[in-house]
A and B are shown apart, each in its own frame.
Chain A
Amino acid sequence: MTLNRRQFIGTSAAMATVLSAPMVKAQGKPRVVVVGGGAGGATAARYLAKDSKGGIDVTLVEPTRKYYTCFFSNLYLGGFKEIEDIGHTYGGLAAGGVNVVHDWAVGVDRAAKTVSLAGGVSVPYDKLILSPGIDFVDGAVDGWGLSAQNAMPHAYKAGSQSELLKAQLQAMPEGGVFAMVAPPNPYRCPPGPYERVSMVAHFLKQNNPTAKIIVADPKPKFSKMSLFQEGWANHYEGMVDWIGEDFGGGNVSVDPAAMTVTIDGEETKVDVCNVIPAMKAGRIAELAGVTDGNWAPVNAADMSTKADADVYVLGDAASQGDMPKSGYSANSQAKVCANAVRGALTGSKVFPAKFANTCWSLIASNDGVKVGATYEATPEKIAKVDGFISQTGESADLRKATYEESEGWYTGITTDMLG
């Protein structure tokens, strides 16, 4: 692994700040610690540093030196992207004034207002923003656990897991079986499993056309269902067998050693098994004591937690109301949160919360679809205002334009997050 100059400078500057922080209160500047450098955390850190013009000391704690976006990782599986196309470093954030610390946050002392890191230091904060993404619920799929994730990858945190699943897909025998165990609601990226089915089918159609895909799903319906089903029939006829709740799709167990999947009592030998278990907030949210059940309830106006006004939770980990758990949503929430946090710490103007989300999915080459909505803050939750969805039977031109738009969005949001 090589570090470029900006990264190196960013990292060492960040470490120096962290080490000196307990002694020197950084010239009395207000301090924000952001945990998690994904779509929510990176955006919040960047906007706080950018908009406060150095007036706030912003530290981002993120264990990985390279971030692979979950969005577009299915396109990597389908062969539309290389893994490096979806990998991003934090050099741009460091150059933008964010102290980037590559370490794990392992605890939060809300009384002392500090975050402890695996490396041993503890970082003080005035405001803490947690954007830890998801973890998996223990025992959610009978027979599967984290120790089985090499035999049966989830590939729902992008990077090495995506590469593993791709390698397994490439190694499938002719006419083999690819199984997916889909997650129950709520989960990260509602159309994600079905875009993945499409991308796997696209890969197999070209490389292994007699192979089959079985999806065991605990839900009776799913995001963009009619669009995906139309696409599967048009592009991959007879390849995809989706078994929903009505047909026992929720009654599933797996045996990673034997490579079998049992759906509603019927055991099938499979060649690849992609298990996407039920999800919960990333662990640090639970350690901070701001979760209630699997997720962290937040106030819609500023994303502060119901448990602690100085601790905010963004993105997938938050329980906020109507927004889907997506990178776009996390990015949108981060901007509302950054505006509110900056206002609270520096007295800058705080503007009303406005949220939006759009999710693009690729079904086949140049066959893109999208769904989106706008949201507002109500006293109870983030509430949907207006929305749209692609229609079945759209022209090939429109689908191509939608796909091209998604490529534009990818460049836009990664720049917006990481500088």
Chain B
Amino acid sequence: MRLFGIIFVIAAVAISSAAVADDFGDPAAGEQVYRQCKSCHQVGDGAKHRIGPHLNGIFGRQAASHDGFRYSKALSRAGTSGLEWHADTLDAFLENPKAIASGTRMSFPGLKKPKDRLDLIAYLRAFSDNPANIPEADPTASPTDHDIDPAILALKGDPEYGEYLSSECTTCHQTSGGDDGIPSIVLWPEEDFVLAMHAYKNKKRSHPVMQMMAGRLNAEEIAALAAYFAGLEE
């Protein structure tokens, strides 16, 4: 009789954790996804920086904030202007690292399946189990779907309009490609440009000036800018 009781409790726990896994991803599946990350990143006991920084305690951490790791200028900039790693920002970054920090040295095309990202984030959560660096709200934040509608990516912009709009960019960004203090925006692949601008517009990418500038551009205008800048390359 007592034995039955224990079995019952175990079953109840199993059911409830399955429900959690549905909301927050399945850490076991995430461990499988993590195999793609392993060649560059370590996580868990004794993890050290390798090609990429170790991933212990990543939740709540400011991007590019390990003292002992040399980050790209782009990710450092994103960190100082407010990018912190939480479920939503990790999800956006894992989907397409370059959309969040264009010049990141993380040369990884991104995880396109939302479930893979959800699972991976659930797996990484296990290594952030230190109350000191997990804000209360973190575990309950669920990833948001921010896929850019393919119709938006397919838009053909008017380069002449783009040229006019680009004059607003060149007040700060140099067309020579100089990047002291302000990043370069020339010679970007068109799609990366569109993704980055939409990431600012949707406030997935941090920087108050860029969020403001991109915020009032509509999809056609962003496409026009991309078309203009792409035309410059030729």
Binding site for B on A (CB under 8 A): 47, 51, 328, 331-332, 335, 339, 349, 351, 354, 356, 358, 370, 372-374, 376, 385-388, 395, 397-398, 400-401, 404-409, 411-413, 415-416
Tally of A-B residue pairs with Cβ under 8 A?
92
Are B180 and A411 in touch, CB under 8 angstroms?
yes
With a cutoff of 8 Å between Cβ atoms, the chain A residues found around residue B155 in the complex are: none
Are A407 and B180 in touch, CB under 8 angstroms?
yes
Contact of B172 among A376, A386, A412 (CB under 8 A): A412
With a cutoff of 8 Å between Cβ atoms, the chain B residues found around residue A408 in the complex are: 172, 174, 178-182
With both chains docked as a complex, state the minimum distance between the C-beta of A6 and any C-beta of chain B, in angstroms. Answer: 18
With both chains docked as a complex, state the minimum distance between the C-beta of B222 and any C-beta of chain A, in angstroms. Answer: 13
Given A351-B164, A388-B209, are A332 and B181 also a contact pair (CB < 8 Å)? no
Are B181 and A398 in touch, CB under 8 angstroms?
no
With both chains docked as a complex, state the minimum distance between the C-beta of B69 and any C-beta of chain A, in angstroms. Answer: 15
Q: Which residues 20-79 in B have Cβ within 8 Å of A in the complex?
A: 77, 79
- Is B173 part of the binding interface, using a Cβ–Cβ cutoff of 8 Å? yes
Are A331 and B216 in touch, CB under 8 angstroms?
no
- Is B130 part of the binding interface, using a Cβ–Cβ cutoff of 8 Å? no
Are A386 and B216 in touch, CB under 8 angstroms?
yes
Question: How long is the Cα–Cα vector from A183 to B211 in the complex, in angstroms?
Answer: 33
- Is B107 part of the binding interface, using a Cβ–Cβ cutoff of 8 Å? no
B180-199 toward A: CB 8 Å interface, digit per residue (1/0)? 11100000000000000000
With a cutoff of 8 Å between Cβ atoms, the chain A residues found around residue B79 in the complex are: 397
Are B174 and A412 in touch, CB under 8 angstroms?
yes
Are A401 and B81 in touch, CB under 8 angstroms?
yes
Are B168 and A335 in touch, CB under 8 angstroms?
yes
Contact of A372 among B176, B208, B216 (CB under 8 A): B208
Are B80 and A405 in touch, CB under 8 angstroms?
no
Are A413 and B216 in touch, CB under 8 angstroms?
no
Interface centre among A331, A332, A356, A387 (most CB of B within 10 A): A356
Q: Which residues 187-227 in B have Cβ within 8 Å of A in the complex?
A: 208-209, 211-213, 215-216
With a cutoff of 8 Å between Cβ atoms, the chain B residues found around residue A388 in the complex are: 208-209, 211-212
Are B180 and A416 in touch, CB under 8 angstroms?
no
Contact of B171 among A51, A331, A374 (CB under 8 A): A331
Contact of B176 among A370, A373, A415 (CB under 8 A): A415
With a cutoff of 8 Å between Cβ atoms, the chain A residues found around residue B167 in the complex are: 47, 335, 416
- Is B165 part of the binding interface, using a Cβ–Cβ cutoff of 8 Å? yes
Question: How long is the Cα–Cα vector from A415 to B176 in the complex, in angstroms?
Answer: 10
- Is B170 part of the binding interface, using a Cβ–Cβ cutoff of 8 Å? yes
Are A404 and B168 in touch, CB under 8 angstroms?
no
Q: List 5 A-B contacts (CB under 8 A).
A: A398-B80, A406-B181, A407-B181, A411-B180, A412-B172
Question: How long is the Cα–Cα vector from A328 to B171 in the complex, in angstroms?
Answer: 8
Question: How long is the Cα–Cα vector from A387 to B211 in the complex, in angstroms?
Answer: 10
- Is B161 part of the binding interface, using a Cβ–Cβ cutoff of 8 Å? yes
Q: Please provide the 3 A-B residue pairs with the shortest distance between their CB atoms, ordered closest to farther.
A: A408-B181, A408-B182, A404-B181
- Is B147 part of the binding interface, using a Cβ–Cβ cutoff of 8 Å? no
Question: How long is the Cα–Cα vector from A406 to B180 in the complex, in angstroms?
Answer: 10
- Is B160 part of the binding interface, using a Cβ–Cβ cutoff of 8 Å? yes
Contact of A356 among B77, B171, B182 (CB under 8 A): B171
Question: How long is the Cα–Cα vector from A385 to B211 in the complex, in angstroms?
Answer: 13
Question: How long is the Cα–Cα vector from A374 to B172 in the complex, in angstroms?
Answer: 15
With a cutoff of 8 Å between Cβ atoms, the chain B residues found around residue A397 in the complex are: 79-80
Question: How long is the Cα–Cα vector from A10 to B212 in the complex, in angstroms?
Answer: 39
With a cutoff of 8 Å between Cβ atoms, the chain B residues found around residue A387 in the complex are: 212
User: Which chain A residue lies CB-closest to B158?
Assistant: A349
Q: How large is the interface on B (under 10, 10 to 19, 20 to 34, 35 or more residues)?
A: 20 to 34
* Other contacts beyond A411-B178, A412-B173: 12, CB < 8 A: A331-B171, A332-B168, A351-B165, A358-B172, A373-B212, A388-B208, A388-B212, A398-B80, A400-B80, A408-B180, A411-B174, A413-B172
Are B212 and A386 in touch, CB under 8 angstroms?
yes
Question: How long is the Cα–Cα vector from A352 to B179 in the complex, in angstroms?
Answer: 29
With both chains docked as a complex, state the minimum distance between the C-beta of B114 and any C-beta of chain A, in angstroms. Answer: 30
With a cutoff of 8 Å between Cβ atoms, the chain B residues found around residue A409 in the complex are: 171-172, 181-182
Are B180 and A351 in touch, CB under 8 angstroms?
no
User: Which chain A residue lies CB-closest to B65?
Assistant: A397
Question: How long is the Cα–Cα vector from A249 to B211 in the complex, in angstroms?
Answer: 38
With a cutoff of 8 Å between Cβ atoms, the chain B residues found around residue A356 in the complex are: 168, 171, 212-213
Question: How long is the Cα–Cα vector from A264 to B77 in the complex, in angstroms?
Answer: 47
User: Which chain B residue lies CB-closest to A39?
Assistant: B171
With a cutoff of 8 Å between Cβ atoms, the chain B residues found around residue A407 in the complex are: 180-181
Interface centre among B77, B80, B167 (most CB of A within 10 A): B167
With a cutoff of 8 Å between Cβ atoms, the chain B residues found around residue A335 in the complex are: 164, 167-168
With a cutoff of 8 Å between Cβ atoms, the chain B residues found around residue A372 in the complex are: 208-209, 212
Question: How long is the Cα–Cα vector from A370 to B210 in the complex, in angstroms?
Answer: 13
Are B178 and A374 in touch, CB under 8 angstroms?
no
Contact of A374 among B174, B179, B213 (CB under 8 A): B213
Interface centre among A51, A398, A407, A408 (most CB of B within 10 A): A408
Question: How long is the Cα–Cα vector from A404 to B174 in the complex, in angstroms?
Answer: 14
Question: How long is the Cα–Cα vector from A159 to B179 in the complex, in angstroms?
Answer: 28
Given A349-B160, A374-B213, A397-B80, are A354 and B172 also a contact pair (CB < 8 Å)? no
With both chains docked as a complex, state the minimum distance between the C-beta of B186 and any C-beta of chain A, in angstroms. Answer: 12
Interface centre among B163, B170, B174, B181 (most CB of A within 10 A): B181
Interface centre among B172, B212, B213 (most CB of A within 10 A): B172
Given A356-B171, A413-B171, are A374 and B216 also a contact pair (CB < 8 Å)? yes
Given A385-B216, A398-B81, are A415 and B168 also a contact pair (CB < 8 Å)? no
With a cutoff of 8 Å between Cβ atoms, the chain A residues found around residue B176 in the complex are: 415
Are A416 and B171 in touch, CB under 8 angstroms?
yes
With a cutoff of 8 Å between Cβ atoms, the chain A residues found around residue B170 in the complex are: 412, 415-416
User: Which chain A residue lies CB-closest to B160?
Assistant: A349
Given A398-B80, A411-B180, A412-B182, are A354 and B168 also a contact pair (CB < 8 Å)? yes
